[in-house]
Structure 1
Amino acid sequence: MIVELTKAPGAPLNPITASRAYIHRDSNLLLLLVCLAQFMVILDVSIVNVALPAIRDGLGFSTAGLQWVINAYTITFAGFLLLGGRASDLLGRRRVFIAGTALFTAASLVCALAGSPAVLLVSRAIQGFGGAVISAASLAIITTSFEEGASRNRALGVWGALGGLGATSGVLLGGVLTQGLGWPAIFLINVPIGIAVVAFGGRIIPEGRSELGHRHFDLTGALLVTTGMVALVYGIVRTDVLGWGSPGVLVPLAAGVALLAGFGLVEGRLAAAPLMPLRVFRLRPLRSANAVILLLYSAIFAMWFFVSLYMQQDLHHDAIETGLAFLPMTLAVAGAATLAPKLIPKIGARVVLTAGMISATAGLALLTGVNPGGTYLAQVLPGGVLSAFGLGLALVPATIVAVRGVPAAESGLASGLLNTSRLVGGAIGLAVLTTIATSHAHARIADGASPVLAQTDGYQLAFAVGAVLCFLGAVAAAVLLRPAREDEAAGELAEARG
């Protein structure tokens, strides 16, 4: 729940604690608004995939150019997550959240009305920027508006459930909207949601600007982290056509690493008022939770991709049938994300997170049984549901652990960092596992296997590697999140707060 605060007449309202100064009856509406915006942003990552053939035919995209409908969004989304999170701390979470939502909504409308590839790609890039701002600010609003404990755990459970629903329902909604109304509908669906969030957000969402005692903005740090993340993700997404050894991949990857290293130097030694105070990384739970999320999404993001390909190319389901086949997985994510906040007070976040990672491991291991003669009920459903359940069960405690104890002034930063781990983990996992699957398929063809068998053998290896990644995440959660001694935890918190 949201707690009402009182203050003496004429006393200035602390912007950090002001986020809790709203009446109780607005708490559910606040949660609905920020979660709807998050759902809209995550949905746009997956809903476009099904509509790509229709977009190609409608706007005359080349095969090589079509991939940029996805890449333009992904690159700007990943590139601006950290900056968006920190901006919400410095400029006010409500202001940044509403501005991001308005920008995302306007860009969605332009996408739907686009008459050329260039207009669509520019609009998708702007969508990604708005999405980054929304995603980081929405989590920061929740963590500063709800008290740590059962109230915040419930809110994060809803946030995680709707985020999971957005990721898994995109295939179904994309198929239905594209076949029923045409590809512009996948972008128009965002417009009424965005308008509603902007219309009610100004009255419901607290401002919550952090009080930092200075007015300096670290422009150098902002440029370094943004260009570094853009270059890094650009290099990763180009592996789908260029290969890991190509200069077109290696140069941006090297540039991204160098820029991020420069960012670390500036923040740690040079900046008078750093954009990202590195002391926040002294919190062991924050570091550990981000590592687990990186491993989880590197496996699960690729899983959706390979399952979708297997359903359509090997089991010969159309787009709507494939979307309907994802419905049990969508429900599994939502169910687990709803269950997690109830389990955490009883057995602890560490145990729930470890159990979620083990569930995802088992699900991916089951998916290694895919073969050309398989069926949805035997080869896809058991492993898909178990993996999705693990995602929902792990996401909520990982989020709770990542933001627990983080100073309110850095809540947006912590939120941006967690979302960056999710997106970069997914991008790296998809690129690496696709390379592994493709290379193995080519090797199997060279050995005399049929193309169909070679393709499913590649899927099998990708699922096996994904299972190993999730198992490593389970080990990391169990080992790294062991309860710290009271004096050690207090020392970490004091260092993080400077």
Structure 2
Amino acid sequence: MIVTCQLMMVLDASVLVTAIPEIGRTLHLSTAALTWVQNAYILAFGGFLLIGARAGDILGRRKTFSVGITLFSVASMLAGMAPSATLLLVARAMQGIAAAIATPSALALLSVSFSEARERSKAIAVYSAVAGAGGSVGLIVGGLLTDLISWRAGMFLNVPIGIALLLMVPRYMQETESKSGRLDIMGAMTSVIGMTALAFGFVEAASAGWGTPEVWGSLALGSISLAAFVWIEARVKEPITPLRLFASRTRSGAYLGRLLLLCGNYPIFFFVPQFLQNVLHFNSLEAGLAIMPFTVIQFGMMYAMPSLVTRFGNAKVLIIGLLIAITGTSWLSMLSADSSYFTHLFLPLIVMGCGAGMIFQPFTTLGLSDVEAKDAGAASGLVNVAHQTGASLGLAVLIAVFEAVNRQAVPSTTSFTHAISVSIMGSAVFLTASLLAVLILLLPADRAQRTAAAALRKVS
């Protein structure tokens, strides 16, 4: 049930990607404006995750989970019926808030339901595979529904799934003990305003250029709001993000590495469908199916991950996975107007899927490592915050890169493809930054833990 919840949330972030051109035509949205179909969801999701996690601790995780799934189902119905772009974006933001309420409770329940190390590793492997590959599955489902029915069907699909989850909750999910406490509303609002303002600044730069007051004003507001968020969390009695979670070098490295990974990984699945449909002239379904090699390989790696982590450790598996992902992404960035699907997309996607399949589980495990029970909800919230924040900021930044490159020439298939190529190379840069975070923060911590464990075995 926890995995089904995660799949529904991740699918919703990507199910409309292959339908983006059709949504633009139906609701008369520009390319830059279309990014908000994605960012309205993932920014609200990432921004409210921390308060959603805290609400689960205070009110009880089963109750919070049920409220989130109910709101998500209602918002999905409204998104499917939206007659205008404004109402669609409002409904997408509502979906994001609902996902932020439900998801932390699901992950926190997973972390406390599997106490034995190997079983917990297997459970996190399944959860991580869904978190990592669910977006690609959404591309396929979204393409199929768009071609056969309408892009709106992707939204309506969530309703029966939500109803099924609500019926399962009383039978399969036990309520956790509620705790006294207060919700850190100011902390939540400053984090949401900060991330939204930063994303808006980059997206606005893509359409209006970097010289406008709106761009620099938004970036300044975002920076000030995030600084205020840290100041508040350091002083408030019951913060939504206890800063003690960052005292661990391992957890801090996992959060930063995951954020940078998603900055690079998520935008690829915005740009590749555009290339497939606008350059190779695939329809929505064909574009979704064309990305399926990535999904199949990534899911397949799930079965090898427990043994790989047991043998080599999380940090080494991360390094190898990131190196493979960087190689595949760099290969994919060599797209041109004359590119063929098999050589320039199919093979790089296979390599990328192999690398991605090795990355998400270790980042999830390390992000939850040595967390006290009282901080389980906040730690799980931070794992998802890094995931969603990285996706939204990465998309905003690389959309700005795409528009800057594309506007330098007369619009054509060649200039469009070149802009996508440069943007995907930007994804490789973000992945390289994630690798550096692992090498600087996680690898030394992993070596220290292994040395300490070896010394303890000798003593005993």
Q: Which has the higher contact order (CA 8 A, sep 6+)?
A: 2
Please tell me whether residue 263 in structure 1 is matched to residue 234 in structure 2: no
* Equivalent residue in structure 2 for 1:420, among 382, 385, 407: 385
Note if contact 1:333-1:392 (Cα within 8 Å) is conserved in structure 2.
yes
Measured in 2, the distance between the counterparts of 1:237 and 1:135 equals 27
SS in 2 for 1:183: coil
Partner of 1:89: 57
TM-score with structure 1 length normalisation? 0.83
Q: 1:249 to 1:77 in 2, by over 3 A?
A: farther
Please state how far the C-alpha of 1:232 moved relative to its aligned partner.
3.4
Identical-pair percentage: 34
Larger C-alpha radius of gyration, 1 or 2?
Answer: 1
Q: 1: CA distance between counterparts of 2:210 and 2:128?
A: 33
Deviations, residues 266-297 of structure 1 (Å, cap 9, x unaligned): 2213x223332211110111100111112211
Counterpart of 2:362?
A: 397
Residue number in structure 2 paired with 1:342:
307
**Deviation of 1:330 (Å):** 1.1
Find the counterpart in structure 1 of residue 186 from structure 2.
220
- Corresponding residue number in structure 1 for 2:256: 291
Listed one character per residue, the Cα deviations across residues 8-35 of structure 1 (whole Å, up to 9, x for unaligned) are xxxxxxxxxxxxxxxxxxxxxxxxx111
Indicate which of 239, 253, 258 corresponds to 2:219. 253
Cα separation, 1, equivalents of 2:76 and 2:52:
19
Name the amino acid aligned to 1:422: H
Deviation, structure 1 residue 397:
0.6
Counterpart amino acid of residue 275 in structure 1: I
Question: Which moved further from structure 2: 156-165 or 202-211?
Answer: 202-211
Q: CA deviation at 1:410?
A: 1.2
**Residue 25 of structure 1 aligns with which residue?**
none
Secondary structure, counterpart of 1:302 in structure 2: helix
Q: Give 1:391 deviation, angstroms.
A: 1.7
**Residues 417-470 of structure 1, C-alpha deviations (whole Å, 9 max, x = no match):** 121212222222222223334433444x38xxx933333333333333322332
Q: Which residue of 2 aligns with 1:467?
A: 428
Instruction: Name 2:142's counterpart in structure 1.
Output: 174
Distance 1:415 1:236, change over 3 A: farther
Deviation at 1:233, TM superposition (A): 3.6
Aligned counterparts of 1:325 and 1:337: Cα–Cα separation in 2: 21
Are 1:197 and 2:165 counterparts?
yes
Q: What's the offset of the Cα at 1:360?
A: 0.6
TM-score, reference length from structure 2:
0.90
C-alpha separation in 2, matches of 1:454 and 1:117: 28
Deviation at 1:150, TM superposition (A): 1.2
**1:474–1:104 Cα change, 3 Å:** same
Q: 1:309 and 2:274 equivalent?
A: yes
Which residue does the alignment assign to 1:206?
Answer: 174
- Superposed displacement of residue 62, structure 1: 4.7
Contact persistence 1:39–1:165 (CA under 8 A): no
- SS where residue 108 of structure 1 aligns? helix
Residue 365 of structure 2 is aligned to residue 361 of structure 1: no
In the other structure, the counterpart of 1:18 is: none
What corresponds to 1:386 in structure 2?
Answer: 351
1:74/1:475 CA distance change after superposition, 3 Å:
closer
> CA–CA distance in 2 between the matches of 1:142 and 1:372?
46
Cα gap change, 1:469 to 1:52, in 2 (>3 Å): closer
Once residues 155 and 90 of structure 1 are traced to their aligned partners in structure 2, the CA distance between those partners, rounded to angstroms, is 25
Aligned length: 450
1:5 is matched with: none
Q: Once structures 1 and 2 are overlaid, which stretch shifts more, 165-174 or 425-434?
A: 425-434
Specify which of 404, 408, 427 is matched with residue 373 of structure 2. 408
1 CA distance for matches of 2:81 and 2:9?
Answer: 19
Question: In structure 2, how many angstroms separate the alpha carbons of the residues matched to 1:486 and 1:70?
Answer: 40
The runs of 5 or more residues in structure 1 that have no matched partner are: 1-32, 491-498
**Partners of 1:322 and 1:431 in 2: how far apart?**
22
CA distance in 2, matches of 1:62, 1:220: 33
Deviation at 1:248, TM superposition (A): 2.4
Any unmatched runs of 5+ in structure 2? 454-460
Cα distance in 1 for partners of 2:59, 2:429 equals 41
State yes or no: 1:45 paired with 2:16: no
Contact persistence 2:18–2:273 (CA under 8 A) = no
CA contact (8 A) 1:293 1:398 kept: yes
